[in-house]
Structure 1
């Protein structure tokens, strides 16, 4: 029997990205919904993720944190799902997966917090500017059907979720290229199923800070 998959999350967190990835993978998993003020900071959970945040994935004895890392891990752990290109053909896959986890995430978070990089200090921020990030992102989702080519992958889950979430909450402009890309992937059966699962959990949970999960 495969090792158990245990998913620690909150329905208003980046755990939604991992839920989508888990539904794409199609393996059985158990969900542990944590509360921001209590169980997420409890000693038992801090022993699993010392940051005291979600999402976290436990696969047997392995523990993986950070949504992008979890997506990449699941794609490798369950290759039959076809969510990663073959080894040796992953340049675009890695590039855009970690572009979304780095520059895009940082730029969008800064905008949500109302932070502006001082003029002339853009190089220190890593992402440069939000305008630069969005320009590159627009090009990335315009070349092929999916960000790493003609095949849907874990990079689309992570980057696509960032775009969909960003457009919903105003940290990413609703440019036609973004809307078209999100329209291609956000209506996938696994994406809709994951959204329904998390939406059903919302009435039971307290709202979190949108940038600390």
Structure 2
């Protein structure tokens, strides 16, 4: 059984958050879908709020600190990414965009990505298509057809065919199919060729 590395990005700003709740539900569904296809999932959930200052440091310094570097490496080496953000002002959050801004331009090329979001009203659901999908198209990621949006009323919906669980399951299946069709990703160190400061000082 092949082990696939799945990185789940959660851009929720509170603890607990509906964004993290949706991220966990998607992670569980992807794990189950991969198991159905004879694949084992190794899931890493990244709470971006825990790296807010690290991201700001990166923007100012131009390189990641020791806390952020492993996260960027994990994303670049992932077999798939689940990206979940709250929607503010009809688009992804500033925290989520900042993380995308510091990613290596080729980190997600060809990587299967499942897009998901939470919001205070279902009217924000189109942000997945007019904001998030173009963003990941720019990064040349392979986004799956089904994106998952969760409004407050979705958490308790029970109508067959329209439930949040139904959308989560469909999207997870699409991501699992995309992952199973690809060879395992190779882990590379994005910063292996960067000299340390001692070497720079020695000239």
* Structure 2 length-normalised TM: 0.28
* Structure 1 length-normalised TM: 0.27
Structure that is richer in strand per residue: 2
